[in-house]
């Protein structure tokens, strides 16, 4: 048995994870579903599914083409540190 909830657009949900500084915000606006992952209230990852509310023909095959992304926050942190080191604060 499946449970279907009809949402009015725009719709949004926020998920906070106790004991962490992680938050996930999911929004459905104009047929686009977006998910933003925040760490310490700063966005670190965002994905948007365009045409999310449209039906998919041959949906039973969709999992074969599913995207699976992995974000390495350690690399993001290192990139941020490198960028900050290049800033010349004396230039204002």
In a domain, 1, yes or no: no
Please state, in angstroms and rounded to a whole number, the distance separating the CA atoms of residues 34 and 7.
Answer: 15
Helices (H), the chain: 73-86
Structurally, how many domains does the chain consist of?
1
pTM of the model: 0.75
Which of 20, 23, 16 lies closest to 41 in space, CA to CA?
Answer: 23
In a domain, 6, yes or no: no
pLDDT of the chain, 92 residues: tens digit per residue = 444 555 566 899 999 999 999 999 999 999 999 999 999 999 999 999 999 999 989 988 888 988 888 989 999 999 999 999 888 776 65
Please state, in angstroms and rounded to a whole number, the distance separating the CA atoms of residues 29 and 46.
Answer: 15
In a domain, 52, yes or no: yes
In a domain, 3, yes or no: no
Q: Tell me the three state secondary structure of residue 38.
A: strand
Domain that holds residue 55: 11-91
């Amino acid at each position: 048995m499946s449970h279907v909830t009809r949402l009015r657009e725009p719709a949004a949900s926020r998920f906070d994870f106790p004991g962490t500084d992680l938050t996930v915000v999911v929004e459905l606006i104009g047929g686009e579903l977006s998910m933003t992952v925040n760490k310490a209230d700063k966005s670190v990852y965002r994905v948007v599914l365009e045409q999310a509310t449209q039906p998919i023909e041959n949906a039973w095959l969709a999992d074969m083409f599913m995207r699976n992304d992995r974000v390495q926050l350690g690399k993001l942190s290192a990139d941020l540190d490198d960028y900050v080191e290049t800033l010349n604060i004396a230039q204002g």
